[in-house]
C-alpha cells in the first residue's frame, strides 16, 4: 500500500491489563445464548422477511434450543411490531422462551416497544445508546456526562413502564443495556455508565441486569476485546447481580474468536446469529461457536444434530446463501480433494470402524475431521470427492462406500490413474457415478481381444488335485486365436491356473503371464448377492495389470476377472 494510505490509520490503544487471567482459562460450560437473527431490519437482509418467514425462523430457533430470542426492533418498523404482536396474540412463545426487543434510549421508541410486548409472559427490553469517543465527537457532540444521562433517563422510563405494564398484563420485564460501540469506548467510562444504569434499575438475584458489551465495529484483535471484557468484569460494581453479555461483529473476520476469548475473560452470555448473518460483515456465528464447544467435549445446550435442516430453513427464509467452506455446514467442509488427506481420512475411519467392531469405546479421532459428520446430520458419502489433485486412497474410498467394491490395496494406484485422466480432461470434480462408470468400462466391459463366451466343464481329479476345464473363447481380433472362436481346454492346479493354461494355449503363447494376486468378496447380501473377484497378472516384462469379474458364481467371477486382466495387458 502507498505510504500516504498507511499513515491514515493508527493502531488501537490496548487496555493496560498486565495481570490478565483469561489466557489460562478454557470454556467448560455453555453460556446463555441469545439469537438476534430476527432483530433490527431482519439483520440487514436484501429482501426483508415478512411475517410467515419470520415465524418459521422463530420456530426453528425455538426447536434448536434458544431460550432468549431477540424478535426485532418493534418501534422502528411496522412489520417488526406486527410480528411481535402476532407471536403474543397467538400465544406462539413457549413458556420457557423469553423474547427480547431492541430500542434506542428515546422516549417514544421505548413506549411503543412496551405496547408491542404487552401480554407476553416474560420479555427483555434491550436498550442502547452509543458511548464511543468517535460517536460522542462526530455524531452527537456530547460529553461523557451527557451520554451517561441519556442512558440513565432511558432506564428510568423502562423501569417505570415495566412496573405499569406488569400490573396491567402480568408481563415480567428484564433489562438489557448496551453501551453501543463498547470497543470504541474508554473502558473506564463503559464501567461508569453501566454502573449508573445498575443504580437506577436496582437488579436483584431473581432479576439480574444484562450488561451487553458489543463490538459494534470490530476494531482490534480478539485478545484486546478479551482484555476489555476482563477489565469490565473486574471493575463493575455488584458483579454478582449482572449478566455480562457479548455481541461481536465480524469486521476483521474474528467475531467467533472474539466471543470465545470473551467467554474465557468472564462473560456469561453470547448474542449472535445462525451462520453469522448481520449488518456489514455479520455477527458472531452461533452455530460455529456451539459446535466448536462440542468438539471440546462441552455440551453447547443447542441442538444442531440436523444441521442440514437448519441451513435449509435459514437459506429459504432469509434468502441468504451459506458459503461452501462455511464451518461445519458448508457443502465442502466434509470433503477432501487432496490425495494425502483422503488416504488419512480413509485410514482413520477404517481404524475407528475396527475399534467399534471390537467393542472399544473410543473418542472421535479421525485425521482432518474435527467432528463426526453424523453427529450433526451429515453423512460420510460425500466426505471424499475426486478431482485431478486427488490420490489413490480417495478413489478407493468412493468405490467402497458408494458401490461396495473393496479394491485390493495394490490396485489403488492403477485405478486412480484411470480416474485422474478423466479429471484432468474435465478440468473439475469427478462425481461418484462417473468413477463407477470408469471402473465398469476399464475392467468389467473389456471384451477385446478375448471374450469368455462360456464355461462348458470344470473337472477336478481327486487323486492329483489337477483341474481340467473347457472354455468357450471368442476374439474380435483376426488371427489372435490359433483355431478361431471355439472351445479350448486347460489344465492346472486350480480353476484359475487351468484358465490361464487355456488362454495361453488358445493364443499360441501370445499372452504369456503369471497370476500375482487374487482376492474376492461378496457384493450385497442374501440371495441376490454376487461375487466380485480381483486378479492381478504380470507379463514377461514385469508390468502388472488388474482385472475384475462379477458373477453370482464365484468361479465364473474369477475367470471373468482373469479375462479382464488379460484384455488390459494384451489389448
| Residue 249 marked as a ligand binder | yes
pLDDT at 398 over 90: no
**What cell was used for 163?**
412496573
Contacts of residue 399, Cβ cutoff 8 Å, sequence gap at least 6: 405, 406, 407, 415, 435, 436, 439
* pLDDT tens for each residue of 103-153: 999 999 999 999 999 999 999 999 999 999 888 988 888 899 999 999 999
Which of 440, 466, 489 represents a domain boundary (last residue)?
440
Whether residue 381 has pLDDT greater than 70: no
CB 308 within 8 A of CB 325: no
CATH number (domain holding residue 489): 3.30.160.270
**403, 423: one domain:** yes
Q: Are residues 71 and 215 in the same domain?
A: yes
- Based on the fold, state whether residues 26 and 112 are members of the same structural domain: yes
Contacts with 371 (C-beta within 8 Å, 6 or more apart), sequence order:
291, 294, 295, 328, 364
Bridge-based pairing of strands 513-523 and 486-492 is unpaired
Q: Is the pLDDT of residue 482 over 50?
A: yes
Query: Do 294 and 347 reside in the same domain of the chain?
Result: no
Q: Are residues 214 and 348 in the same domain?
A: no
Residue at 325 is within a domain: no
374 is in an annotated binding site: no
Identify the domain boundary among 401, 419, 440: 440
**Sole residue written with cell 482490534:** 220
Q: In whole angstroms, what is the distance from residue 491 CA to residue 454 CA? A: 17
Confidence category of residue 346, pLDDT binned at 50, 70, 90: confident
The answer to the question of residue 462 being in a domain is: yes
- Give me the mean pLDDT over the 12-40 stretch: 94
Q: Does a structural domain hold residue 328?
A: no
**Residue 331 counted as domain residue:** no
Q: Is residue 509 part of a domain?
A: yes
Claim to verify: residue 423 and residue 546 sit in the same structural domain: no
Q: How many domains does the chain have?
A: 3
**HEC assignment per residue over 108-149:** HHHHHHHHHHCCCCEEEEEEEEECCHHHHHHHHCCCHHHHHH
Establish whether 292 is an annotated binding residue.
no
Q: What's the CATH code of the domain at 13?
A: 3.20.20.70
Predicted structure pTM score: 0.75
239/380 same-domain check: no
Does 497 lie in the same domain as 421? no
Q: DSSP characters for 373-413?
A: GGGGT--GGGTB-B-TT--HHHHHHHHHHHH-----GGGHH
Mean pLDDT in the chain? 93
- Rounded CA gap, 118 and 253, in Å? 39
Residue 326 lies in a domain: no
CA nearest 443: which of 537, 547, 536?
547
Domain range enclosing 459:
450-570
Q: Are residues 376 and 251 in the same domain?
A: no
Distance of CA 16 to the CA centre of its chain: 38
Residues 65, 179: one domain? Answer: yes
What phi, psi does 83 have (nearest 5°)? -65, -45
Q: What percent of the chain has pLDDT over 90?
A: 77
pLDDT band at 263 (very low <50, low <70, confident <90, very high): very high
Query: How much is the average pLDDT of 322-344?
Result: 86
486 and 433, same domain (yes or no): no
Give pLDDT tens digits for 436-468. Answer: 999 999 999 999 999 999 998 788 877 777 899
β partners of residue 172? 122
| 251 carries a ligand binding annotation | no
Report pLDDT for 336: 77
Q: Is a pLDDT exceeding 90 seen at residue 384?
A: no
> pLDDT tens across 286-325, in order?
999 999 999 999 999 999 999 999 999 999 999 999 998 9
Q: What is the CATH number of the domain that holds 375?
A: 1.10.287.1400
Instruction: Express the helix, strand and coil content of the chain in percent, nearest 5 each.
Output: 45, 20, 35
Indicate whether 141 belongs to any domain.
Answer: yes
* Residue 515: strand pairing partners: 537
Contact of 87 with 93, CB cutoff 8 Å: yes
Clarify whether residues 41 and 156 are in a common domain: yes
Cell 457415478, residue? Answer: 433
Which pLDDT value is given to residue 254? 97
Model confidence at 382, pLDDT cuts 50, 70, 90, reads very low
Whether 334 is in a domain gets the answer: no
Domain boundary among 440, 460, 488: 440
Amino acid at each position: 500500500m502507498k505510504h500516504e494510505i498507511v499513515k491514515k490509520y493508527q493502531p488501537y490503544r490496548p487496555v493496560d491489563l498486565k495481570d490478565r487471567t483469561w489466557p489460562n482459562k478454557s470454556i467448560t460450560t455453555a453460556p446463555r445464548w441469545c439469537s438476534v437473527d430476527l432483530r433490527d431490519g431482519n439483520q440487514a437482509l436484501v429482501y426483508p422477511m415478512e411475517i410467515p418467514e419470520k415465524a418459521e425462523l422463530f420456530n426453528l430457533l425455538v426447536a434448536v434450543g434458544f431460550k432468549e430470542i431477540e424478535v426485532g426492533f418493534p418501534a422502528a418498523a411496522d412489520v417488526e411490531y406486527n410480528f411481535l404482536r402476532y407471536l403474543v396474540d397467538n400465544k406462539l412463545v413457549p413458556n420457557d422462551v423469553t423474547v427480547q426487543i431492541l430500542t434506542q434510549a428515546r422516549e417514544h421508541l421505548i413506549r411503543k416497544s412496551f405496547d408491542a410486548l404487552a401480554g407476553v409472559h416474560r420479555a427483555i427490553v434491550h436498550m442502547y445508546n452509543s458511548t464511543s469517543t468517535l460517536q460522542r465527537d462526530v455524531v452527537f457532540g456530547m460529553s461523557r456526562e451527557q451520554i451517561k444521562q441519556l442512558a440513565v433517563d432511558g432506564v428510568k422510563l423502562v423501569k417505570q413502564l415495566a412496573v405499569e405494564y406488569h400490573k396491567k398484563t402480568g408481563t415480567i420485564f428484564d433489562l438489557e443495556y448496551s453501551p453501543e460501540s463498547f470497543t470504541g469506548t474508554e473502558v473506564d467510562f463503559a464501567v461508569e455508565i453501566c454502573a449508573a444504569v445498575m443504580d437506577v434499575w436496582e437488579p436483584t438475584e431473581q432479576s439480574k441486569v444484562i450488561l451487553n458489551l458489543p463490538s459494534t465495529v470490530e476494531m482490534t484483535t480478539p485478545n484486546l476485546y478479551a482484555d476489555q471484557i476482563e477489565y469490565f468484569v473486574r471493575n463493575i460494581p455488584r458483579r454478582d447481580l449482572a449478566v455480562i453479555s457479548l455481541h461481536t461483529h465480524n469486521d476483521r473476520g474474528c467475531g467467533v474468536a472474539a466471543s470465545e476469548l470473551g467467554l474465557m475473560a468472564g462473560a456469561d452470555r453470547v448474542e449472535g446469529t445462525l451462520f453469522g448473518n448481520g449488518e456489514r460483515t455479520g455477527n458472531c456465528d452461533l452455530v460455529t461457536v456451539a459446535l466448536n464447544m462440542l468438539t471440546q467435549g462441552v455440551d453447547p445446550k443447542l441442538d444442531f444434530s440436523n444441521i442440514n435442516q437448519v441451513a435449509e430453513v435459514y437459506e429459504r427464509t432469509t434468502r441468504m446463501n451459506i458459503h461452501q467452506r462455511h464451518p461445519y455446514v458448508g457443502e465442502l467442509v466434509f470433503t477432501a480433494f487432496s490425495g494425502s488427506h483422503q488416504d488419512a481420512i480413509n485410514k482413520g475411519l477404517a481404524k475407528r470402524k475396527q475399534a467399534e467392531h471390537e467393542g472399544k469405546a473410543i473418542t472421535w479421532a479421525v485425521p482432518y475431521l474435527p467432528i463426526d459428520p453424523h453427529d450433526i446430520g451429515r453423512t460420510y458419502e460425500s466426505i471424499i470427492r475426486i478431482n485431478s489433485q486427488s490420490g489413490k486412497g480417495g478413489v478407493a474410498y468412493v468405490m467402497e462406500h458408494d458401490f461396495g467394491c473393496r479394491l485390493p490395496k495394490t490396485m489403488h494406484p492403477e485405478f486412480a490413474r484411470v480416474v485422474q485422466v478423466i479429471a484432468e480432461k474435465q478440468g473439475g470434480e469427478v462425481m461418484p457415478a462417473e468413477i463407477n462408470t470408469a471402473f465398469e468400462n476399464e475392467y468389467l466391459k473389456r471384451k477385446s481381444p478375448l471374450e469368455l463366451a462360456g464355461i462348458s466343464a470344470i473337472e477336478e481329479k481327486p487323486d492329483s488335485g489337477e483341474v481340467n476345464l473347457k472354455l468357450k473363447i471368442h476374439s474380435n481380433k483376426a488371427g489372435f486365436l490359433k483355431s478361431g472362436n471355439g472351445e479350448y481346454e486347460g489344465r492346472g492346479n486350480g480353476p484359475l491356473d487351468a484358465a490361464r493354461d487355456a488362454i495361453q494355449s488358445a493364443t499360441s503363447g501370445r499372452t504369456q503371464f503369471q497370476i500375482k494376486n487374487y482376492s474376492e468378496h461378496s457384493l450385497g447380501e442374501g440371495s441376490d448377492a454376487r461375487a466380485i473377484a480381483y486378479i492381478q497378472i504380470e507379463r514377461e516384462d514385469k508390468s502388472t495389470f488388474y482385472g475384475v469379474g462379477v458373477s453370482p458364481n464365484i468361479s465364473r467371477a474369477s475367470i471373468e476377472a482373469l479375462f479382464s486382466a488379460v484384455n488390459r495387458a494384451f489389448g
